[in-house]
A and B are shown apart, each in its own frame.
Chain A
Amino acid sequence: MSKQLQSDFDKLAKTSKFSNEEIQSKKNFLNNFIKKGFPSRKQEDWKFLDISQIIKKNISNLSYFNDYSQSNKIDPSIFVDGLEHNKIIFINGRIEKIDFNFEDQNKIEIIDETKKDISFDYENSLIDLNSAFTDKVFKILIKKNYSLKKPLIIYHSINDEIKSTNINLRLNFELGENSCLKLIDYFSNNSAKNFINIFYNFNLEKDSILKNYKIDKIINNNLKYSFNNIEQDNNSVSETFILSAGSDYFKNEINCNLNGEYSSAFINGIFSLKENQQHEIRTTINHLVENTKSYQLIKSVLGKNTKSAYQGRIFVNSKAQKTDGYQLSKAILLDETSEFNAKPELEIYADDVKCSHGSASGSLDENSIFYLMSRGLNYQQSKELLINGFLMDVVEKITDVEIKNLITNIIGFKQ
């Protein structure tokens, strides 16, 4: 594997427009990754779904080289209809377009941060892989007191030109004081098997609001890993919604540091898995100062041969008195081959806190189905109605009405 990595990296260095300095920093990341390798089930965080095994089984030999010097044609048919929005378009891991047409151009700045090092400690080797092979890293800066008029949609798509089987992408966001960003991560890549590795870093300053929606709905054979790091200052709010349904494998990881008082984080997620899918959500909320709040709700509906895992961790520092933390995960297993794993973890060092978690899993309630059938629905309809109701609960948590409608449509729920 290391030979392949090395030679693909050399190709990348040759074809791209990176400066020497940038290549050197990328090389360090590459060496780190070669040293650590892919994570495996030996690591606690990867216990339930072993990514190195899954890659081996599905892709066998990964190749990493993407030619970032050549641009790709944008296929407008992937765009979301019925909602005016700003766009960032990734094709084959290359940023093709950053378009903030609906916004005041003076309030948004795009900064090249390829040279900048990663600002927090991590053990995750996939971040090393990402940093070594990703294209230019840009930071989107939303200036003080500006709220984006329209949501921003990030499109992830792959065309036939792709050479590698691994795509790495990275973006940084900075939300200035009292600003607001609505972000939709939209996965429309329905190509053959690729391993897609995404890393976003968010920095939320005082009073800013981030609404972050991740939608993976179209059935595809890709393996995806997404890591979001969110740093929050006083009074800031982050809301993350994850719809995890399309890919063969998808692991969403959210790390949220509540650094400022009265900051709060909300994470809601849906797993809706059909045949042979394996998905995971892992969240870490670090309550580091007083009066912070977090809320998490994860629901799964699991079909044939599927497996979902939820690992949620609430950490409360000894300084973080008056913390309010809540976590709930529920799962419905539809088939005898489906499997649900959960590890809701609390790590608490302060006494004046309110922290709780709950987890429940089981099959659909036969009594409820009976109730609906006795009122004239057939078995299939009653089942669907119950599942809809079960998942709608999470969709209802979305605070933005426009996006809530969009997501309801995408999921295909009947109100």
Chain B
Amino acid sequence: MDTREKDIEKLKDYKYGFTTDIENIKAPKGLNEDVIKFISNIKKEPKWMLDFRLKAYERLKLLKEPNWQKPKYPKIDYQDLYYYSAPKSMKDKPKSLDELDPKLLETYKKLGIPLQEQARLNGIAVDAVFDSVSVATTFKGELTKHGIIFCSMSEAIQKHPDLVKKYLGTVIPVTDHFFATLNSAVFTDGSFVYIPEGVKCPMELSTYFRINASETGQFERTLIIADKGSYVSYLEGCTAPMRDENQLHAANVELIALDDAEIKYSTVQNWYPGDENGKGGIYNFVTKRGLCKGNNSKISWTQVETGSAITWKYPSCILKGDNSIGEFYSIAITNNHQKADTGTKMIHLGKNTKSKIISKGISAGLSDMTYRGLVDINSKAKNSSNYTQCDSLLMGNKCGAHTVPYIKNKNFDSTIAHEATTSKISEAQLHYCQQRGLNPEEAVGLIVNGFCKEVLQQLPMEFAVEAQKLVGISLEGSVG
């Protein structure tokens, strides 16, 4: 342990690169029906849940891994992964925070999410997912008072089966693409949020994901339901320890907004990106999809993507209700050997629907970044509009920045506007900043933060500060 910590001390680049020595319970390696039954059994799930998983598994057998994406990766051996890994002490769930394994708590402290004190100070309710199992949820009392359900997915399956049954898989069906279906078959935990009718959630809800054990994939599932006229803002953060091998993260996130409801979903993703030679790192293949089911509903995605060896995800909005609104704000930063293929899909089905996409990509080092997006206005989506802006910034001539938007307009009442630019930081700007006493690195940090401002503004206060720092850290060493 000591030598390892020293190693980590030396590397220092990735501040979250520690592991925690906690005994884990793992399912046997590999993917088969028995493993799925094992997971379902250990989580004491009802039969309908097991059926849901098995149905997904049957479907998975027919599916092929997609390969149209830009960043290519070596083939993943799905039989060589652990699909379930839980801290041992979790076997019998703790009743309160005091019963939690102190080591676990320490881990969260290192991550900067002290569950108790800070949560109270910040007024943020936190649900932490550690190697796919939800560990603790703070601020329960306050939330219950408003009738808000915020708990782990496993708990929701036990305690609120009606809600889960009604909504799980309605936005991302088990028959979706390969990774989503894989998740449906083997997901282990995640967060569940239900905001009752007319309730404005009094605090930001937050989940922290962490992969700790090696050779595990993390498959969590998040389901957020905002009932009529409600509002919720949800934050998600992710980290993982430094390991040489690549780890798979294939989560599913489903959002459902009913009439007049609004969901704001913010992500700061800082999974381990691999070292400067491109060794190790997380494969972040996540499916995120929101359904504006009711009229006048709104879903807004904000993401800051700085981590992962490969990021491959498209948080999407299906604008089904009339007058519904979808928004997508994204900053993606890639450095060293990182690769990202990210963007969004806005599918307009209802009348008077509106969507807005602001995407900022920054690539440095030997990295490669792609914005890929779809705007599809259906023939029934009268009077809809979309505005898309994607800007890329390149640092150095060994990296790449690509834009691949798909634009489909089938409605003559609707308008789509799309703009994209690619450029570098101008010498004049750098010179100006340096003249005023900033060193080159600070100058770049300042300019990049300005470049990202439109997106950073969308983040809740607590996250915005962290994100701004992350932007700086991610680009360290890429200047000069």
Contact = CB atoms under 8 A, between A and B. Distances in A.
Given A336-B412, A362-B415, A362-B416, A350 B421 contact: no
Interface string B386-424: 000000101111111111111111111111111111111
A359 B418 contact: yes
A276 to B, nearest CB: 15
Given A44-B68, A348-B400, A356 B411 contact: no
Contact of A343 (B396, B404, B410, B415): B404
Contacts of A354: 422-423
Nearest to B423: A354
Interface residues of A, number: 35
A318 interface: yes
Contacts of A357: 403, 418-420
Nearest to A340: B409
17 contacts: A335-B412, A336-B411, A336-B412, A338-B412, A339-B410, A341-B409, A342-B405, A344-B403, A345-B402, A346-B402, A346-B422, A356-B419, A356-B422, A357-B403, A358-B417, A358-B419, A359-B417
B424 A351 contact: yes
A267 interface: no
B379 interface: yes
Contact of A360 (B401, B404, B413, B415): B415
A359 B416 contact: yes
A353 B423 contact: yes
Given A348-B392, A355-B423, A362-B415, 5 more contacts: A340-B407, A342-B407, A343-B405, A351-B394, A359-B405
A363 interface: yes
A350 B401 CA distance: 9
A6 B405 CA distance: 41
A347 interface: yes
Contacts, number: 113
A222 to B, nearest CB: 26
Contacts of B408: 339-341
A321 interface: yes
A341 to B, nearest CB: 5
A351 B399 contact: yes
Nearest to A323: B422
Contact of A348 (B401, B407, B414, B417): B401
A361 interface: yes
Interface residues of B, number: 34
B414 A362 contact: yes
A351 B401 CA distance: 9
B418 A344 contact: yes
A371 interface: no
Nearest to B402: A347
Contact of B422 (A335, A338, A348, A358): A348
A350 B407 contact: no
A361 B379 contact: no
Contacts of A331: 409
B408 to A, nearest CB: 5
Contacts of B415: 360-363
B420 A333 contact: no
Q: Tell me whether chain A's interface is mostly helix, strand or loop, or mixed.
A: strand
Interface of A: 44, 318, 321, 331, 333-363
Given A333-B412, A343-B407, A348 B402 contact: yes
Contacts of B409: 331, 333, 339-341, 361-362
Nearest to B415: A362
Please provide the 7 A-B residue pairs with the shortest distance between their CB atoms, ordered closest to farther. Answer: A362-B415, A333-B412, A351-B394, A359-B418, A342-B407, A346-B403, A356-B421
Nearest to A332: B412
Contact of B394 (A44, A344, A345, A348): A348
Nearest to A338: B412
Contact of A361 (B397, B398, B406, B416): B416
A344 B406 CA distance: 8
Given A343-B405, A344-B405, A350-B394, A336 B379 contact: yes
Nearest to A360: B417
A374 B394 CA distance: 50
Contacts of B396: 351
A362 B405 CA distance: 17
Contacts of A353: 394, 422-424
Contacts of A343: 404-407
Contacts of A336: 379, 411-413
A351 B407 CA distance: 26
Contacts of A363: 412-413, 415
A196 B414 CA distance: 35
Nearest to B401: A348
A30 to B, nearest CB: 30
A340 B417 CA distance: 12
Q: Which of B398, B410, B414 has the most CB of A within 10 A?
A: B410
Nearest to A346: B403
Contacts of A358: 417-420
Nearest to A330: B417
A349 B409 CA distance: 30
Q: Which of A335, A339, A351, A354 has the most CB of B within 10 A?
A: A351
A292 to B, nearest CB: 15
Nearest to A351: B394
A340 B400 CA distance: 29
Contact of B412 (A318, A334, A352): A334
A351 B418 CA distance: 22
Nearest to A315: B402
A338 B406 CA distance: 17
